[in-house]
Structure 1
Amino acid sequence: MKNTSQMHELSQRLVVLFTTEKKIISNRKHFPSSILLPLLILATHYLIIPSNSEKCHPDDKKVLLQIKIQLGNPTNLSSWDPTTDCNRTWYGVGCDTDTQTYRVNYLSLDFVNLPQPVPIPPSITDLHFLTFLFIYRTPNLVGPIPTSISKLTKLLYLTISNTSVNGNIPNTLSQIKTLLTIDFTNNKLTGPLPDTLSSLPNFGGISFDGNQLTGPIPESYGSFSNSFTVLSLSRNQLSGKIPASLAKLNLTYVNLSQNMLEGDGSVFFGSKKQTTEIVLAKNLFAFDIGKVELANDLKQLDLKRNKIYGTLPEGLSELKFLHYFNVSYNNLCGQIPQGTNLRRFDEYCYAHNKCLCGSPLPACKT
């Protein structure tokens, strides 16, 4: 993927990835950039390797040709010609030229026009040197994520997004100790959240939004390493009380919206945390918001349609970066804090509470 036309092609695909991911199904407006940024850095790496050193390991080339057959020989993969160098000319393929092993370590199957529904090609798990696997916008991809994915022991970034893949998320993912991020957004996955992911030593985040996952958030999720900063589980069917152990996490981004979760959502707040976005909308959370401490860098706070009570904390008026705020449809009372940064939020952001008052709502009764 190194000649001029392919450099342009990959650049365009990256633009599509980073601009459309924020506008995908069901108003998913804020995709956690801390998951996507490392993918951009890694993908860009394949634009700058000199073409005169490109080769392709014959074993991996055979596996790729098998993958093409298992996908039904889609037209997108017409460049996968056995007479050409897979690293230089094949769509979505990159090899390790740094160590001169020329093993395939990058595979991006995005917008692949599958002629008929097929499962994830089983041969993918024979690419043992993959560090980056990206499958995106391939609706005819069906069936479960294979448990044999644990054979990809060097994998850093795993994305299977906007497909028809279904079934449970395999617990075998925790055997890939190198994993940094997992994005399974907008598929048809069912069953519980895997409770073994917290054993990954350098894990940075998960995005399982837009599936049909059920059950509670595992208690073990409070034991993620310090590198874990993104927890995005919106638009599922998760239920049960939020684990108190999640208070130990220092998340930059948390989105649990549109589930049926209960309990004390205040575990995600804290003045010493680096949290920038908290989205808990459309759940059953119940806690006293007047007792929470707010992170200074908070940019988005969406708590609408819960059972949250108490008085809004005065610290809201001191948040310099807050650009989205909504606490409507809760059980809040008391005076709305007044501050320059809060004047941008209209009455809709506070509507349908128990007894909130003050601008932009009617004045408090004396």
Structure 2
Amino acid sequence: MLTSSILIVVLLYFTPALSEELCNPQDKQVLLQIKNQLGNPATLSSWIPTTDCCNGTWQGVSCDTDTQTYRVNNLDLSNLNLPKQYPIPSSISNLPYLNFLSIRSIPNLIGSIPPAIAKLTQLRYLYITHTNVSGAIPHSLSQIKTLVTLDFSYNALSGTLPASLSSLPNLVGITFDGNRISGAIPDSYGSFSKLFTAMTLSRNRLTGKIPATFANLNLAFVDLSRNMLEGDASVLFGSDKNKQKIKLAKNLFAFDLGKVGLSKNLNGLDLRNNRIYGALPQALTSLKFLHSLNVSFNNLCGEIPLGGNLQRFDVSSYANNKCLCGSPLPACT
């Protein structure tokens, strides 16, 4: 019996208590404050003060186990059924170790993006999508030098595009589709780092011309469709670029398509409903990966080149041009 008692004492001395909480108390307090500021939604019912926020039971919360600091580094507030309208809790900015923040699909989320979010100096991935958040995109975001991805798609954001975003050294893409953003695309957007490969700004109210500085970019994916942009968009093309998808539909672009160079990796091209003229480039026939094409409702002329995938697209891909002809359209006369 004495030996067993000694063994129990030794085990208790050297083994951490099973009830010891890993969650940082400051982080826990902030999370509970966020829950309260969102009206205590049922989706966050697992956020119980008497439990450990780092034990995997708190919905949408993850902690840093790699460094064993156990600070909250991932926060996913998606699909919250808020009892009424609430703004984004400003207390989110008091989670200094956040690496990933996702706020998605919350119709009752309103107000502006808190400028204090710039205090999250370790944040890499920021998603605020499918909400009714409004106001301008904060210029203070340029202070978060760690940012890799910004996605603010399908909200009610307005104002202009912050020119300062181009100063972010690690940014690989921005997605601002489906908002009310107006004004011109800043010239500075042509000076994003070499890491920058995706820009989607569709379904906004952008005006003006594409900056000539875009010649410096090597975007793999660009979507500027459904705006009021005009002028020459040929700067987006180039045989020396790694362009995979270009979507410029429903704007006022006017340039000679026959003179542009095409990336051999291009797999999607949507130019419908513009004022683009000239002939279809012969190089389209050599694009092995081209699986979507629409040049309808433009001012294109000449015969559709034979070969490649061009005859696999139906009439709707080429319809309503000035004088485009040849298969699948009627033969040229």
Report the AA paired with residue 200 of structure 1. L
Report the AA paired with residue 210 of structure 1. G
Mapped partners of 1:264, 1:149: distance in 2: 37
Aligned residue-pair number: 315
Report the AA paired with residue 320 of structure 1. K
Is residue 28 of structure 2 the alignment partner of residue 58 of structure 1?
no
TM superposition shift of 1:55? 2.0
TM superposition shift of 1:52? 11
Is residue 66 of structure 2 the alignment partner of residue 80 of structure 1?
no
TM superposition shift of 1:61? 0.4
Which consecutive residues of structure 2, in runs of 5 or more, have no partner in the other structure?
1-17
- Identity, in percent, stands at 64
Residues 219-258 of structure 1: pairs in structure 2 closer than 5 A: 219-258=187-226
Structure 2 residue aligned with 1:175: 143
Is residue 312 of structure 2 the alignment partner of residue 332 of structure 1?
no
Structure 2 residue aligned with 1:146: 114
CA contact (8 A) 2:285 2:309 kept: yes
CA contact (8 A) 2:284 2:308 kept: no
CA contact (8 A) 1:204 1:229 kept: yes
Report the AA paired with residue 228 of structure 2. M
Mapped partners of 1:239, 1:201: distance in 2: 27
Structure 1 residue ranges, 4+ long, deviating more than 4 angstroms after superposition: 51-54
Relative to total residues, which structure has the larger helix share, 1 or 2? Answer: 1
SS in structure 2 opposite 1:135?
Answer: strand
CA contact (8 A) 1:53 1:97 kept: no
TM superposition shift of 1:320? 0.5
- 1:288 corresponds to which of 252, 256, 269: 256
Mapped partners of 1:124, 1:186: distance in 2: 21
Structure 2 residue aligned with 1:99: 67
Q: Could you state the TM-score of these two structures normalised by the residue count of structure 1?
A: 0.85
- 1:162 corresponds to which of 117, 120, 130: 130
Mapped partners of 1:54, 1:83: distance in 2: 10
Structure 2 residue aligned with 1:195: 163
Query: Over aligned residue pairs, what C-alpha RMSD do you find?
Result: 1.3
Structure 2 residue aligned with 1:3: none
Is residue 177 of structure 2 the alignment partner of residue 209 of structure 1?
yes
Is residue 87 of structure 2 the alignment partner of residue 110 of structure 1?
no
TM superposition shift of 1:340? 3.7
- 2:36 corresponds to which of 69, 76, 83: 69
CA contact (8 A) 2:268 2:292 kept: yes
Report the AA paired with residue 358 of structure 1. G
Q: Could you state the TM-score of these two structures normalised by the residue count of structure 2?
A: 0.93
Mapped partners of 2:158, 2:77: distance in 1: 23
Which consecutive residues of structure 1, in runs of 5 or more, have no partner in the other structure?
1-50
Is residue 318 of structure 2 the alignment partner of residue 350 of structure 1?
yes
Q: Deviations over 1:81-122 (max 9, x none)?
A: 011111221000001111111110100001001001000001
1:255–1:54 CA distance, 2 compared to 1 (3 A): farther
Report the AA paired with residue 132 of structure 1. F
Mapped partners of 1:55, 1:163: distance in 2: 33
1:157–1:333 CA distance, 2 compared to 1 (3 A): same
Mapped partners of 2:304, 2:285: distance in 1: 10
CA contact (8 A) 1:54 1:102 kept: no
